[in-house]
Amino acid sequence: MNKDEIKHFIARRVARELENGDVVNLGIGLPTLIPHYVSPDVKITLQAENGFIGLCAHDGNLREDGNYYIVDPSGNPAGIEHDGMFFDSSFSFTIIRGGHVDKTILGSMQVAENGDIANWLIPGKAVHGMGGAMDLVVGAKKVIVAMEHTQKGSPKILKQCTYPLTAKGVVDMIITEMGVMDITPDGIVLREYNPEYTVEQIQAATEASLVISKNLAPME
């Protein structure tokens, strides 16, 4: 798979983790692809940290100057459901900090075997700030990291993060192009694998030791 195919592969698998009634916050980048793969039978509500609930696909709204009325947190054109609503940033983060988000799905630079996450700063590189991730990973009921398994061949799933942390011990699940992993008190459990890779290849691309589920199944 090329890089674009990998992103869509991961997004399609993450979409299967969403359930009827979920309030979901999506991070920038890869997670914004996920709504395209949610089953029509599953009704979720997308909360956007830039100030609205009921995020949906772009519906063609344009201002007279050719710009979009509505954008998602990534700045991409977006729409709003008929029963959605807009609000200010303080109310948006009241929803997040108040524990009203069922699942947040975001990318990461590193994840540790104990659930630590580092997704905001690479030392020595310019950064705009941590943003809402630090609130989302502690406010959401479930944190799912959707990311490529490695960065230029280097593992991103580590025994211990080497980048500055966004939060400690908050990640529940990791989904990559290689597999689906749960963070548990016993370590990272590989419960699904991509048949394009052997378990040995997945472990070789992972610094942390993987616990292989007794019910290991292929990714669909």
Q: Does residue 81 carry a catalytic annotation?
A: no
Residues 6+ positions from 120 with CB-CB distance below 8 Å: 127, 129, 130, 131, 133, 134, 164, 166
CB 93 within 8 A of CB 132: yes
How many other CB atoms are there within 10 angstroms of residue 204's CB atom? 11
Catalytic residue among 5, 17, 19, 49: 49
How many helices and strands in the chain, by DSSP H and E? 4, 15
CB 68 within 8 A of CB 146: no
Residues 6+ positions from 175 with CB-CB distance below 8 Å: 10, 13, 14, 17, 144, 145, 146, 181
Active site residues: 49
